Chain A
Amino acid sequence: MTSRLYTLLRLKSCNTKEIKNCIVQNVNCIIENSKLSYCSSANILKDKATNINDKSKNVMLNNIGYEKSTGNVLARDNKNNIYNDTVTQVTKSDGNELKRPCNIEFLEKNIYKIDNALEEVDEKLPGPFDQCNEDLSHIGPYITGTYNFAKFANDSHTIQQLVKLGVELYKIESDREVLEMFLKLDFERDMKPYIQFLYNCGVSSENLGFFITRFPKIFKEDIDDLHTRIRYLRAHDFNITMIQTIVNKHPPWLAFKTQEIDHRLGYFQNNFELNGSQVRNLAVKCPKLITYDMKRIRHSSFAIKEEMGFTKLEIYRILHKAPRVLIRARTEVVKTFDYLHNQMNLSHDIISQEPIVLLCRKKRLEVRHRFLVELKKDQHDPTKPLYVSPLCLVRGSDDEFCEKIAKTSIYTYNDFLRTF
């Protein structure tokens, strides 16, 4: 019975109210019926059912009448009547098992009503061999759970366009937030204005993929905010090529609010006593430093000032030539400096002249220095002949080092490397 009801629900959605009532009645009846089947014999049930058939047909005719004439009010009245009847009969039969069969009348009535409703519906149920002339191309299986973009790549226009731009989607799919955002966005509507904006900012078309890979959350930012952030840079005398370099080099720059950027530029200006153009040069040379973790910058600047003991002028030189020293892990920088200063006996002044050596790994520096010591060519005093500058020591491949500085064969150097 329930299955029939279900088909009815699907076929005639307009009669939902009526059907709801039907269900209520039916459920009541089913409960009663089940109780009854325990108590009374099956024969009685059958007899009663046949008697009721005649009565219910009348009701059914009535139903047809008002369905056709769209007499909703009538229908409701009639419904109410039926419903009231059930109620009264149920109340009467309450506690009295002998009178229970009355309920079966309603049960049977309803069946007829449903059958009738099915006949009434003009739409014929399609058979298994009927030809279907509808366009069913929009119907497909449900989308099940996924953790990457590959599942949607063949269907989603957005993702196809992103691949054409060269966005490395496999790198950003680990962030679930980004994954969900990208799937919701429409390329033409939501992404184009941003890409246009980036193009206007000077991000070249080859670099767009890199930009979006590094900063996929740009599509979440408000476009006016992004304009404000660029305007902020313009207002602080950054010229257009400078802004281009910043945006191309370090896409997450645009994620920072103007107040935040202002605060950080101010920090660098005050802390290292730079003037306006110096701050601008720093921002262009290493935009990552400006947006870097402030805590780590404070630690590194402490290490440079206090642990290594550079003076203000020397710190300025380091910032000017190798700002990445502040980004590199503090312990590593200190190790390299320790070797340069204490083992190689280089003064602060010489180190700050060529601060790029502070970015070199201690291991590489140590190996090359010891090789020169073996060859007795470790002459790090610029006033004497055969001077080897610390930058020459760490720069270039081993072949270049052997050829230009050590002036030995690369095989000798390789054998030397194997003795560590």
Chain B
Amino acid sequence: MSAIRTVTKYVDDARVIYKALNGVVVLYKPPVLHFNNVRETVISNLCRELNDMHTRPPMKHVAIEGETNKPMKVVVRNSLADHPLVIGPRYQPNDFRMGATKIMQKDVSGVLVCGINAGNQLIHKIKTSQSLRFYKIKGLLGEATDNYFHTGKVVEKSTYAHVRRGHIDKLCSSMQSTHQRKMFELCGVDIQSQAAYELAVKGLLRPTDSNIPMIYTVKCVDFSPPEFMLEVVCTNETDLYLKATIHDLGLKLRSNATCTQVLCIQDGLFNIKHALLTKHWTLQNIVTNIQMCQNVINQNEHILHQKNPALIEPNNYIDTIE
């Protein structure tokens, strides 16, 4: 907010910037790339740009020269053993650690919350707080593949002319209610107890087990046969779980359906609008993004220390730094 004053200073020393590269950054992960490729690209970009700046000068080499039976000379010169041409560039991929709240598979695209260096501790806390993720999932009616995604081999085909919007809506709401009932079973208390009642009063709950996928909302946002789009709010999900949901939906519709796109539009507090596109994975953009994410985290301390099993409305004001 306006109370926080930022001090801007221009630097060209790589050492200062390397120290500033600690924190959470939000990236947009394109489809086809695996998380490991994303990490490799980001880190190599960072290394290249840091190496292009003013880096640490070579260490001094003290040499004592001359014959031992005569007065000897002490010479101090730049050590060649520390020359970038001999030992390689100053910043190397090994100098960076990068983790994410969720390891995204090839088929999934969208928001990827990553931590760079010391930011990995924050990432771990965010991960354990089981934040919600919002997905847009596209489906294609009429065919089924062996890996539930459109890249796979088609194993089944069927007609879809009988499918109406109402059918999908009905199935979505029944899916949602089933999952919400399961939510109370997964919260870890006896369903007949007073504690369960008090939890239920609070509204939606997080599951205690971080391995069980939990869907809070499913709704159809677009239907233009043979394509349709679902919006899903969930936690602890896997890409295969979402794809299988589409597949099951297709079977319940007396037809078949394949998933064509899984796009994560929000992960916890971080929206796709703040995510950096592939072409923006540069040092300057990443540093700016780290600052922005730090502001967001400072305003929403609850995502780091989860005290309550109920879902909390996030402090939606996200101040973007232009």
Residue ranges of A at the interface with B (Cβ–Cβ < 8 Å)? 132-137, 148-151, 153-154, 159-160, 163, 166-171, 363, 397-398, 414, 417-420
Contacts and interface: CB of A to CB of B under 8 A. Distances in A.
Contact of B80 (A137, A153, A363, A420): A153
Given A163-B83, A163-B85, 13 more contacts: A134-B68, A135-B68, A135-B69, A137-B68, A150-B81, A150-B86, A153-B86, A154-B63, A160-B80, A168-B85, A417-B28, A418-B28, A420-B109
A153 B87 CA distance: 10
B263 A153 contact: no
B277 to A, nearest CB: 6
B86 A169 contact: yes
B212 to A, nearest CB: 30
B66 A154 contact: no
Contacts of A398: 279
A134 B69 CA distance: 6
A220 to B, nearest CB: 21
B213 interface: no
Contact of A170 (B63, B68, B87): B87
By DSSP majority rule, is chain B's interface helix, strand, loop, or mixed?
Answer: mixed
A163 B30 contact: no
12 contacts: A150-B86, A153-B80, A153-B86, A154-B61, A154-B81, A163-B86, A168-B85, A170-B86, A170-B87, A171-B88, A418-B277, A420-B263
Contacts of B69: 132-136
A156 B64 CA distance: 16
Interface string B278-289: 010000000000
B32 interface: yes
Nearest to A362: B32
B280 to A, nearest CB: 9
Contacts of A153: 79-81, 83, 86
Given A135-B67, A398-B279, A150 B263 contact: no
A151 B81 CA distance: 6
A414 B280 CA distance: 10
B272 interface: yes
A124 to B, nearest CB: 18
Contacts of A132: 68-69
A398 B32 CA distance: 20
Interface in B72-86: 79-83, 85-86
In the complex, the 4 A-B pairs of residues with the closest C-beta atoms, listed nearest first: A170-B88, A153-B80, A150-B81, A135-B67
Interface residues of B, number: 29
Contacts of B82: 150
A132 B109 CA distance: 75
Contact of B85 (A134, A151, A167, A397): A167
A135 B68 CA distance: 5
B86 A418 contact: no
Contacts of A148: 86-87
B309 interface: no
A149 B88 CA distance: 11
Contacts of A417: 28, 277
A20 B86 CA distance: 50
Contact of B87 (A137, A150, A160): A150
A137 B81 contact: no
B81 A363 contact: no
Contact of B79 (A154, A169, A363): A154
B85 A137 contact: no
Nearest to A169: B86
Contact of B272 (A166, A170, A418): A418
A381 B23 CA distance: 50
Interface string B78-107: 011111011110000000000000000000
Interface in B248-279: 261, 263, 272-273, 275, 277, 279
A159 B32 CA distance: 44
Contact of A163 (B66, B80, B272, B277): B80
Contacts of B68: 132, 134-137
Q: Which among B28, B32, B63, B80 has the greatest number of chain A C-beta atoms within 10 A? A: B80
A363 B30 contact: yes
A154 B80 contact: yes
Contacts of B65: 137
Contacts of B32: 363
A170 B83 CA distance: 10
Nearest to A148: B87
A202 to B, nearest CB: 24
B66 A137 contact: yes
Nearest to A171: B88
B30 A420 contact: yes
A163 B85 CA distance: 7
B109 A169 contact: no
Q: Which among A151, A168, A418 has the greatest number of chain B C-beta atoms within 10 A? A: A418
